[in-house]
Structure 1
Amino acid sequence: MIGVGRKILRKFDESTKDTSDLVLKVEDKKFHVSRMFLAGQSPVFYTMLLGSFKESKKNEVVLKDTSASDFQIFLEALYGEPSIEDDTVNAIPTLADKYNTKTVRAQCETFLVRDSIKSAKEKLKLAKQYDFNRLKNKCLAGVKTMNDVRECLAGNLSDMDQSVVSFLLQKAVTFDLN
């Protein structure tokens, strides 16, 4: 769960029911959304809401295994709000992958590459977890000193992407030779 105490950027409550045709229930919260918009953004939602699934006939669909606060931020990003921040970016790619929303996934990686103040080690962990190759390459390109190598390698090496470990060890050897 993320986003406790953060400002809501877009409402999906009762006040938006005139412009919505579907309610998604996550935990105890109801999100009023557009079926066609979601279907246009996600093949998973398309199949669920417009295909032959029982959900396609319902006006309220329950989504499980997701926190309401994470889903709020995910929907904000999907609807174009700048909701991706350092304290939200860890959980949102999971939902982007679950619902196969390439735009939200790309927003997360772009935020991490351009704006995040997370450490290189944290970014490399997220790059591995979500297969963010552009982020991985940006982090590795930023390794300029032995301290950078140490920062990235701190912790359990078996949890890291082995190509990253190999690159960092090669860099370390190069620094030692100079």
Structure 2
Amino acid sequence: MSSETIWYKSGARPVSSGNYTTVLEKRAKSGIAWEWMGRVDTSGQIDFTWKFYWDELRSQGVDDITGHITVSSTNNRFTATTINVKITEDNQEITKVVEGGYKSYNVYFEYFLTTHYAPVLEKPSDEEMFAPSEQNDSILVVEGKKLHVNKTFLSYHSEYFRALFSSNFKEGQMDEIPIGDVSYEDFALLLSNFYPIQVFPTDKTVEKLLELARRFLVSSATRSAEYHLLNVSRIKNEKMLWMADQYVMPTLLEKCIRRLDTTDKAKKMKQSEEFEKLSDKTKSIILYRLLDLI
């Protein structure tokens, strides 16, 4: 998906000296929401802060947002100031101190922000992945389609396949082994995570991959999914926490619970549909977290 540049210009807002920061504006446009704040100190210096929220864009594959913000005064009480920005986290703060010398100002800002999407790597075609070769010594059949695979390689990555190819099971003696109760597309997704070369998970595939990894006992696929969720994913914290609990990923679970760092976030988790699906142990951790924040 191509990048998009978003332009916005605010109206003029008054800001004056005082003990508290003033919220000048709360708005949203094209998947980006923000809160703009300002405070004038006793010397006339203005402290500006912008908080940007863009979970919606993150869930659509946006990796980061770059551009600039220019803040100005309608009565030219300070020189228009431009801030270059790179936004990589939701709820990220951008701050700027502007020198002035007055007790009050009328201020406005405009921005040009460009969304950047994470690159999507194309996986090899299924025909290439599962074609006959000298290295492949077994055939799996899924929905009538034949997958030529290497027994040793699959057995190394999966206890399920280790048992399946064992001489103790009748399937281990078969020329073609049927795999039931799974679609060809899903089974190819699982194998492509480690066979013959790794195709990394995406936010669209990670939940299905975890489900398949549990069924077919592929621990490396679970680790790959957890790495994606820890470092790359834009999935909302509520759903991510549920996946961490459901598929036993303790490092991810700890990170998701640390993100519940305000009462609003903790309450949002408790009121989400994912909360009812959690284990009793994880529910208790969240409720204690909420009590600590109150």
Deviations for 1:59-108, whole angstroms, at most 9, x for unmatched residues?
Answer: 21110111111111100102242331111111112221222221111111
CA distance in 2, matches of 1:87, 1:168: 27
Partner of 1:16: 131
> SS where residue 32 of structure 1 aligns?
strand
- Check 1:70–1:167 CA distance in 2 against 1; reply closer, same or farther (3 A cut): same
Q: Alignment partner for residue 269 of structure 2, among 148, 152, 163?
A: 152
Deviations for 1:93-138, whole angstroms, at most 9, x for unmatched residues?
Answer: 2221222221111111111111111111101111121111111111
TM-score, scaled to structure 2? 0.53
Identity of aligned residues (%): 24
8 Å Cα contact 2:167/2:173 also seen in 1? no
> SS where residue 171 of structure 2 aligns?
helix
- 1:94-173 superposed matches below 5 A: 94-156=211-273, 157-173=275-291
> Which sections of structure 1, spanning at least 5 residues, go unmatched?
1-5
Partner of 2:150: 34
TM-score, scaled to structure 1? 0.84
Kindly indicate which of the two structures has a greater share of residues assigned to helix. Answer: 1
Measured after TM superposition, the shift of residue 7 of structure 1 is 7.8
Kindly indicate which of the two structures has a greater share of residues assigned to strand. Answer: 2
Measured after TM superposition, the shift of residue 42 of structure 1 is 1.6
Partner of 1:3: none
8 Å Cα contact 1:10/1:81 also seen in 2? no
Work out which of the two has the higher radius of gyration on C-alpha atoms and give 1 or 2: 2
4+ residue segments displaced more than 4 Å: none
The root-mean-square deviation of aligned C-alpha atoms, in Å, is: 2.2
> SS where residue 202 of structure 2 aligns?
coil
CA distance in 1, matches of 2:291, 2:223: 34
> SS where residue 31 of structure 1 aligns?
strand
